[in-house]
Amino acid sequence: MPMPFSILAETFEKLERTTSRTQMVLYLVDLFKKTPPETIDKVVYFLQGKLWPDWKGLPELGVGEKTLIKAVSIALHVPERTVEELAKRLGDLGLAVERLKREKEKGAKAVGLLAFMKQPSSGESTLTVEKVYDTLARVALTTGEGSRELKLKLVAGLIAEASPREAKYIVRFIEGRLRLGVGDATIIEALSIVYAGSAAMKHVVERAYNLRADLGLVAKILATQGVEAVKNIKPEVGIPIRPMLAERLNNPVEILKKLGGRALVEYKYDGERAQIHKKGDKIWIFSRRLENITKMYPDVVEMALKGIKANEAIVEGEIVAIDPDTGELRPFQELMRRKRKHDIHIAMKEVPVAVYLFDILYRDGEDLTVKPLPERRKHLEEVLVQSDTWRLAEHIYTDKPEELEQFFLRAIEDGAEGVMAKAVHSRSIYQAGARGWLWIKYKRDYKSEMIDTVDLVVVGAFYGKGRRGGKFGALLMAAYDPDTDTFKTVCKVGSGFTDEDLERLNEMLKPYIIPHKHPRVDSKMKPDVWVQPALVAEIIGAELTLSPIHTCCHGWVKPGAGISIRFPRFIRWRPDKSPEDATTTKELYEMYKRQLHKIEEKTATREAA
Ligand code: ATP
C-alpha cells in the first residue's frame, strides 16, 4: 500500500512546531507506525532532508530559485512576480506557495470549481510518499539537453497536485531548507522503539549506522528483516564507515595513564583523512565527512590498487601533500591548493601526495572493527605493499612519557600537527562514529610564527630523491654560537631551490666537502656528506619549533630539545656573509620567545576544506 504524502507533511508541521525532543520522538514513532516497511527508507531520507546519502555522489536536485518560482507560477497559474513578491514578503517561498494555494482553493470553492480541480476539498491530495520521492529522484537524475524543461515540468506537476501544506514542504525540500531540527539520533531512537521493541535497543541501530553510513538502508533492513538482521550488519565495501574520533590531551603523562600505560603513538598528519575501499580493481575514497572524493585523487586510486594485497578491504589513512624531491611533508594549505584546481591532472603534478595509513576496518569478509588495535595492525601490515608514497604512518610503541614527548617534537618538526596516541589493550576496538579515549590527539597549545628570515651556514648535504636522484637535494643548516665558537644545527632544507640552484649545488659544495664532521660543528643529525662551514644562505620557514634532533639552543626552552625551523625554504645565497656573520643561537632564541603565541583552533579551515 502506498503511503499518503499528507501523513509526512502533517508530521513535518508538528515537528517544526515542537521544542521538545521527547515529543519529537513520539511524533516520529507515530509516523513510522503508519509507514509501510518498504517505504521507510524514503521517509528517513525525507526526514534527513536529502534524497540519498551524500557519499553516493549522486547529483543534487539542480533546481535553482528561479526555476522553482517558475514552477510554482505554472502550477498555480499566477504570475512569477506575484510568487516572487509574496516569497520576499514572507521570507520563505514555501509559505508563499502554501498561502497562494489556499487562496486558490478558497476561490475555487466559492465558484464551485473544486470538482474540476485535481485535489479533493479536504485540503489533502492523492500524492504518495513514493510518488513524491520518485519524481524528485527523476528531477535530480535528469541531465543533459532538455533537462531544465523536464525538471520544471516535473516540479510544477508535483506542486499542482499537492495540497497547500504538502506544497510548502515540497518546495522547502527542493530548496534544501526543510530544517525540521530532527537529528540522526532522534530518528534512530524512534526506529528502535517501533521496530526493535524499545529505545534501549538504539545502540544496535546506531552501531549498524556507524558501520554503514546510510540510515535509510539500515531502517529498511530493520523494518523488513528485523533487529537480528541489523545486529548482523557488517561493513560493506563501497559504503563508508563513520570514522572513529579522538579526544584531546596535552600532557604525555596523562595520555599514557588514560590509555592504560602503553600506547601506539603515530604522527598526526595534517592532510585529509581518507577511508579507502577496495573491491577487486575498484577503489572508493571517502572523506572525514563521508563524501566520495575518489575523483579528486586518481593518484591515490593507483597507489591503493597496487598497495592493498586483498580482494576486499577497507583501510584508513591521511592524504598529505609532499615535496616530490625530498619526500618531506608539506603544509595542509598545499593540499587545499590542489583541491581548488580544476584540472586534476595538472593539480596532481603540482601538488603530489603521499598516503600514511593507520588502520584497517575490513578484510575479505571479516569485520575488523571489533578487533583490538594490535590485531588490526597485524592485518594492516599483512595487506600493505608499501612504497615511498603509500606507507604506514610513522610510529612508536611506548610506555615512557619522555619518549612520547620526544616523538611529539620530532613529529612537529617533520611537518606533522602533533601525534595520535592509541590504546593497544584488549578493548581497543575501532569505535566507528564515536569520539572516545581510545585515541588521544596531542597537538601544541602554542606556536612561534616565523616572520623574519635567518642566515644559516651549510654544514652538511643530503642526496635528493626521484628526479633529483644522485644530486644534492637538501642541506643541513646551522646557526653560529659565538660563546663556544661552534655551529649548531637548526634544520634540513630541501624546498625553495630552483632547478638552476640545484644544478649548481654539487659544484658549489665540492670545495668544502670533508670526510667527517667538522670539529666546530655540533650535530646529532648525520647528513650524507659533511661540509666545512663556509656558505651562508637566507632561510625562511613557517614557524620556529622545538626539536629533539637539532642542537641549536639545546635545553634552553625545554630539556632534551633544541630550536628548529618547520617547513624551511631556501631563499638565496648570501655570499657577502662569512659563517661567523650567520644568525646566532641567541638571536634564534629571542625570535622564538618573541613570536610565541597560543594556537587558535583551526576547525573553521578544516570545515571549509
Ligand atoms: P576531529 O576529527 O577529532 O573531529 P578535527 O577534524 O579538527 O577533529 P583533528 O582534531 O585535527 O581533526 O584530529 C583528527 C584527525 O586527525 C583525523 O580525523 C585524521 O584526519 C587526522 N589524522 C592524522 N594522522 C592520524 C593518525 N595517525 N591516526 C588517526 N587520525 C589521524
* 106, 124, 170 from 121: Cα distances, Å: 10, 7, 20
C-beta of 288 in contact with ligand 1 (< 6 A): yes
C-beta of 56 in contact with ligand 1 (< 6 A): no
Determine the Cα angle at 422 with ends 420 and 425, to 5°. 170
**Residue nearest ligand 1's atom 24 by CA:** 268
**Domain 454-597 of CATH type 3.30.750.24:** no
- Where are the extended beta strands (E) located within 238-281? 245-248, 263-268, 272-279
pLDDT, position 600: 77
C-beta of 273 in contact with ligand 1 (< 6 A): yes
pLDDT, position 110: 65
Length of the chain, please? 609
DSSP 465-525: -GGGBTSEEEEEEEEEETTTTEEEEEEEE-BS--HHHHHHHHHHHGGGEESS--TTEE-SS
* ipTM > 0.90 for the complex: yes
Q: Convert 366-400 to b/e letters by CB count within 10 Å (16 or more is b).
A: bbbbebbbebbbebbeebbeeeebbbebbbbebee
Determine the Cα angle at 496 with ends 342 and 592, to 5°. 110
**Domain 245-443 of CATH type 3.30.470.30:** yes
Class level of CATH domain 50-175:
mainly alpha
Element (H, E) at 225: helix 215-225
Instruction: List, by residue number, the catalytic residues.
Output: 268
Index of the ligand 1 atom closest to the CA of residue 439: 29
Report how far ligand 1's centroid is from the alpha carbon of 167 (Å): 42
Task: Sketch the domain layout of the chain as residue ranges.
Answer: 50-175, 245-443, 454-597
Element (H, E) at 379: helix 373-383
Lookup: cell for 252: 604525555
pLDDT, position 609: 40
The three-state secondary structure class of 83 is helix
Ordered mean pLDDT values, 10 residues apiece, the chain (609 residues)? 95 95 97 98 97 91 94 96 96 96 82 52 78 97 92 97 97 94 95 95 96 97 97 95 96 97 98 98 96 95 98 98 88 91 90 97 97 98 97 98 96 95 98 95 91 96 81 95 97 93 93 97 97 97 94 95 95 95 97 90 48
Determine the Cα angle at 76 with ends 72 and 80, to 5°. 50
Which of 288, 335, 392 to probe ligand 1 with, by most ligand atoms within 8 A of CB?
Answer: 288
pLDDT, position 599: 85
